[in-house]
Structure 1
Amino acid sequence: MQPTAVQLIIEEHRAIATVLHALQEAVEHARHGVAAPDFARLRAMLVYLDEMPARVHHASEGRLLFPLIRERCPALRPVLDRLEGEHERVELIVRELGHALSAWQVMGEVRHEAFELLARTYIESYLGHMKVEEDYVLPVAMDYLDAADWHQLAAAFEHQRGVLADSALRNQRELYARIVTKPSAD
């Protein structure tokens, strides 16, 4: 059985991946003329991808899990450094995507391709990032961390989520539900 901290990280990865795939699908539908761009839904996706990873997920990894792995498995430090650098870049790219989305909405189709290219790069990069964490970092962590470490991490994750107001987590869940609910065809 996986430790609670690993389960939480994987659950968060699944939610992020679902939003990334919804973003990819929305962009492809707009490109192929399947549906007019739903700018409100696209913006909701970007808000989720900005808020959830930065406030919850990356904080769990960067402040709680990665330091413990660095201590127990120094050979993994370069990989963790790279992943943390990617966390910072991801947050910047989401803001760039927000700007590109606004430009597309305001300036029209002439700016669609710029948004699409940036979105595609972001999606591929983030999915690859999560794959490295799941296929490499978490298995190494499970080999090097002991039961006491996992217990400490579970308590720290629980405390971290407790510090976030219930309303903030509820708002993230509601936003997620809005994003993954397929828009109805009129």
Structure 2
Amino acid sequence: MPPVSLQIIREEHASLAAVLQSLRGLVDEGPGDHPARFFDMARAMLFYIDEFPERQHHPKETEWLFPRVARCAPHVAELIARLDSEHATGEAMVRELQHLLLGWELMGEGRRDRFVHALGRYIDFYLEHMRLEETVVLPAAQAYLGTEDWSMVDAAFASNANPLTHGRPRDPAYDRLFTRIAIRAPRTLVPGSPRRDAQPASVG
């Protein structure tokens, strides 16, 4: 049986991919006749991306997983260094998206294209980031890490409280966020159980 942390990482990737695709669909539809609901939903999705992956998922990859894989599988160390640096890049991109969304909401349609372009760039960037993790880093981890390494990595990821991952601990503080995203998001996001075809490994 694969280490529990590998399952958690893949589930967290799947939930993030589902939110990204849902956000893309929401933006493609546009505010329509319900701008307040549209911007509220878009803000909730961007908050989730900033709050969970950037503050829980990435730091644990950086601290617990990446160094061990780089040490045990030096042939992927260069890629790991790149992926690690992309965590900081992604955080800055999310903050920019939050700012651009607010600009669109407050300043009107003249700011829409800037947000749409930045969102498309971020989604492409992040799906590729997760694809490389799942197709290169995680297989190397499974092949080369030892029992002691996995016990520490598993313990670190087991404490994650992802509000959108089915069957995992969920911090009650996130319940409101979960409800807003799961109920109002387009159908690509199934409440409590991200679609498996939304996994980054299956996205070009």
Category of TM-score, reference length = shorter chain: 0.7 to 0.9
Structure 1 CA distance, aligned partners of 2:87 and 2:110? Answer: 30
Structure 2 CA distance, aligned partners of 1:34 and 1:72? Answer: 55
- The answer (yes or no) to whether the contact 1:22–1:179 under 8 Å persists in 2 is no
Q: For 1:128-151, what per-residue CA distance to the aligned partner results, in whole angstroms no more than 9, with x for missing partners? A: 111111111101111111233222
The change in CA–CA distance for 1:144 and 1:53 in structure 2 (over 3 A counts) is same
Q: Which runs of 5+ in 2 are unaligned?
A: 162-168, 187-204
> Which residue, 171, 174, 191 being the options, matches 1:169?
171
Q: What RMSD in Å do the two structures reach over aligned CA positions?
A: 2.3
Q: Which residue of 2 is the match for residue 115 of structure 1?
A: 115
- The answer (yes or no) to whether the contact 1:97–1:118 under 8 Å persists in 2 is yes
The change in CA–CA distance for 1:34 and 1:105 in structure 2 (over 3 A counts) is closer
Structure 2 CA distance, aligned partners of 1:55 and 1:74? Answer: 27
Whose helix proportion is higher, 1 or 2?
1
- The answer (yes or no) to whether the contact 2:64–2:152 under 8 Å persists in 1 is no
The change in CA–CA distance for 1:13 and 1:75 in structure 2 (over 3 A counts) is same
Q: For 1:45-75, what per-residue CA distance to the aligned partner results, in whole angstroms no more than 9, with x for missing partners? A: 1111111012210012101111111111122
Q: Which runs of 5+ in 1 are unaligned?
A: none
The change in CA–CA distance for 1:181 and 1:52 in structure 2 (over 3 A counts) is same
The residue identity in structure 1 corresponding to 2:98 is G
Q: Which residue of 1 is the match for residue 72 of structure 2?
A: 72
The residue identity in structure 2 corresponding to 1:134 is E
Q: For 1:28-59, what per-residue CA distance to the aligned partner results, in whole angstroms no more than 9, with x for missing partners? A: 1018x597471011011111111101221001
Structure 1 CA distance, aligned partners of 2:11 and 2:61? Answer: 13
TM-score (norm 2): 0.79
Structure 2 CA distance, aligned partners of 1:5 and 1:173? Answer: 23
Give the length in aligned residue pairs.
Answer: 178
- The answer (yes or no) to whether the contact 2:41–2:185 under 8 Å persists in 1 is no
Which has the higher mean CA deviation after the structures are superposed, 72-81 or 169-178? 169-178
The residue identity in structure 2 corresponding to 1:7 is Q
Q: Which residue of 2 is the match for residue 103 of structure 1?
A: 103
Offset of 1:80 from its aligned partner? 0.7
- The answer (yes or no) to whether the contact 1:18–1:180 under 8 Å persists in 2 is no
The change in CA–CA distance for 1:176 and 1:83 in structure 2 (over 3 A counts) is farther
The residue identity in structure 2 corresponding to 1:170 is P
The residue identity in structure 1 corresponding to 2:171 is L
Offset of 1:183 from its aligned partner? 6.0
**SS at 1:38 equivalent:** helix
**SS at 2:30 equivalent:** helix
Identity %: 39
Q: For 1:96-132, what per-residue CA distance to the aligned partner results, in whole angstroms no more than 9, with x for missing partners? A: 0011001100111111111000001101111111111
